Amino acid sequence: ANIFAQWRGSINYTFKLVKTGFHSGRLRVFFVPQGVASTLKVGSAPTIEIEKNYQIVVDIAESDTFTFNVPFVATKPWLSTYGPSAFTGYIVVTVLNELRAPPVVSNKINVIVEVAGGSDFSFSMPCEPWALTGSPTQLPPSIKPAEVQIAGTNIDLNDDQKRSLVDPDSISVINPLANWSPESHCIGEKIMSIRQLIKRANWIGSATMLPASATDQQYAVLNPYANASNQQNKQVDYLSYFSNLFAFFRGGVRIKVNASILYANGNLGNSTPNGEWFTPSNGSPCLNIKMLNAITTDYIQVAANIKKLNNIVGKVGFANADVYNSSTLNAAMVNSSSTTVVNQGVEGMVEIEVPYYNSSHLTPSNVPNIGDPLIDIDSQATSEGTYPLPMLLIGTNPLPRQLRIASTAEHNAQVYKTEALTCNFYRAASDDYSYHYFIGVPTMIYRPSVASDYYKPQN
């Protein structure tokens, strides 16, 4: 529900009683459709609702676990996942027969309540998470355990009733089967798997490359498989979000690059006006993307000199990487390896696929801390002798620059100003990407608040 705007379907509530075999007593459980929990008086049961709603009676001496199914009772096909319209009613648990136990055991028991979607449960309208995955900076406040109100008098159940109350499938015979009608009439798609979400590209960060000197410049560094949880600027893409729910992953990822690369507008004419004038920013339309996927000298040097921007994106500087002032490029960009040169003027937004190069068929889904390195070369080199997952270097030669043209016979040009290159990166799962071994819901943190004028245009 954290990443969807709407829901529908039945919900199963499983009650687990922490007790001994010497405890006895009976509980009554019923559902009040369209009821508002805020109207309930704390410590008292809604007695007027008891006899007119479906209910079950559970003998805790017979079973310490039972399931209560709440059907989807609503006046419209979909309900919101937040706000006052997110609920269909409330569940009431009362003590029908008072708890009895011998003096040698505790005179009270604890109840663990678990919730799960029914066979017809579904979500729709994927959205940004309401809460983010991450490690809390402080412990959550302690919650006082709820106390159950004792209501009614002791009653006996016959054998048929006892047998029917063990793990009931439903509180009524009305249990609609899953179908496509709500999706086809209202939504237009049916979410069947998280694979539908992780294959959607999400923004993972940006990098601005500035010239360090006349012959040095910077390249962006990407760790394509890094987890964005716990990072400084707080955004979490779908791949990072679901990685927290599983112990392992495998498969390739797709990276989209939107770079502000400009290129020349054409040659100068035969004559120019008197004086000096300046061209628009010019540069190569080609984006260089290089993959490093083995613990070589280049890999180690790059990993050791990264300026980390977030958990996925960083940047690194290279010497002699300027084609205007040097006849050679840095060896890390031209040696024999996987290098892709993309003409962005032709292709538009650049998309590449990073293969799953690894000596192991599975990789642990680690959640880094803010202070961890972008590429943890030490743990990769010593972890069961496995090769590291690939990293990407992204940049252009040369950086976009502005030229100063003198109105002389030679029409000579010289570099007046070198512009910055800004790249925005997006990530999605490849067709072969998959998760393994579900471990449950991770810890969550609140999204940071934004200023009231965050979404307003600036003058």
Per-residue pLDDT of 70-119, as tens digits, reads 988 888 888 898 887 788 888 888 888 888 888 888 888 888 999 988 88
Coil, helix or strand at residue 161: helix
Give the span between the Cα atoms of 94 and 338, in whole angstroms: 66
Please indicate whether residue 183 or residue 12 has the higher confidence score (pLDDT).
12
Region of 9 please: left (phi>0), alpha (psi -120 to 50) or beta: left
Q: What is the pLDDT of residue 173?
A: 43
Region of 116 please: left (phi>0), alpha (psi -120 to 50) or beta: beta
Q: And the tokens for 232? A: 């400084």
Q: What is the pLDDT of residue 82?
A: 84
What count of other Cβ atoms lies within 10 Å of the Cβ of residue 228?
27
Residues 337, 343, 347, 351, Cα dihedral to 10°: 30
Domain 4-187, CATH number (from 2.60.120.1140, 3.40.50.2300, 1.10.1060.10, 2.60.120.20): 2.60.120.20
Provide CB contacts within 8 A for 142, sequence distance 6+: none
| Residue whose tokens read 């490359």 | 209
| Residue whose tokens read 């007027």 | 48
Q: What does CATH list as the number for 198-446?
A: 2.60.120.20
By percentage, how much of the chain surpasses pLDDT 90? 11
Please tell me which of 150-164, 172-186, 249-263, 330-344 the model is most confident about, judged by mean pLDDT. 249-263
Asked whether the bond before 398 is cis by omega within 30 degrees of 0, the reply is yes
Q: Mean pLDDT for the chain?
A: 74
Please indicate whether residue 41 or residue 441 has the higher confidence score (pLDDT).
441
Q: What is the mean pLDDT of residues 180-204?
A: 82
Indicate the range of 65-74, 321-330, 350-359 predicted with least confidence: 321-330
Q: Side chain identity at 136, as an amino acid letter?
A: P
Outline which parts of the chain fall under CATH 2.60.120.20: 4-187, 198-446
Q: And the tokens for 284? A: 């190569």
By percentage, how much of the chain surpasses pLDDT 70? 65
Q: What is the pLDDT of residue 159?
A: 52
Q: Provide the whole-model pTM.
A: 0.75
φ, ψ for residue 43, nearest 5 deg: 90, 0
Q: What is the pLDDT of residue 293?
A: 80
Q: What is the pLDDT of residue 264?
A: 40
